[in-house]
């Protein structure tokens, strides 16, 4: 049985949202690579066929009837994409640089462990700055992403 977040746990999407805010303000984001991978259930090596989005949201199937969760997911996904853009342009704080590296590492771990099952993860890998994602991973992600579109 796939492990899910317990009802009284804060879903990773909210923790990442808060980390983005703190890092942008120049504060410690409050996450470590180890606890980010742990809360996303990516610390082990056994595939479980969960997408990166499912890991962030913490539920499956996604609760489409909850508008607050939908807003949190949309805003956080935009925040991560915006972080990567600003990182590429050199407009990030040192704390944001660290958080961008942690998020890229989580996407790499997801891709290497589960394959190309998550459009969000593949998007992050193919659009992340070159120094965050190895070229070989970017190329594999781009190839698999192009196959999905046809």
Instruction: Write down the domain spans for the chain.
Output: 12-149
Distance between CA atoms of 112 and 90, rounded to whole angstroms?
28
Cβ neighbours of residue 28 closer than 8 Å, sequence gap 6 or more? 22, 95
- Over residues 115-136, the mean pLDDT reads 88
User: Do residues 121 and 131 touch, judged by C-beta distance below 8 A?
Assistant: no
pLDDT at 60: 47
More confident residue, 124 or 60: 124
Could you give phi then psi for residue 101, rounded to 5 degrees? Answer: -65, -40
pLDDT at 149: 60
Distance between CA atoms of 84 and 86, rounded to whole angstroms?
6
pLDDT at 6: 52
DSSP string, 9-49: SPPHHHHHHHHHHHHHTTS--S--HHHHHHHTT-SSSS---
Query: Tens digits of per-residue pLDDT, 134-147?
Result: 999 999 988 888 88
More confident residue, 63 or 9: 9
């Amino acid at each position: 049985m796939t492990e899910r977040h317990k009802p009284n746990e804060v879903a990773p999407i909210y923790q990442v949202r808060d980390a983005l805010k703190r890092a942008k303000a120049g504060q410690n984001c409050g996450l470590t690579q180890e606890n980010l991978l742990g809360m996303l259930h990516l610390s082990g090596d056994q595939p479980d066929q969960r997408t990166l989005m499912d890991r962030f949201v913490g539920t499956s199937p996604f609760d489409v009837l909850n508008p607050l969760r939908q807003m949190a997911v949309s805003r956080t996904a935009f925040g991560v994409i915006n972080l990567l853009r600003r990182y590429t342009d050199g407009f990030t704080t040192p704390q944001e640089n660290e958080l961008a590296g942690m998020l890229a590492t989580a996407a790499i771990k997801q891709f290497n462990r589960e394959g190309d099952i998550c459009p969000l993860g593949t998007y992050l890998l193919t659009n992340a700055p070159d120094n965050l994602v190895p070229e070989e991973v970017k190329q594999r992600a781009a190839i698999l992403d192009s196959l999905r579109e046809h």
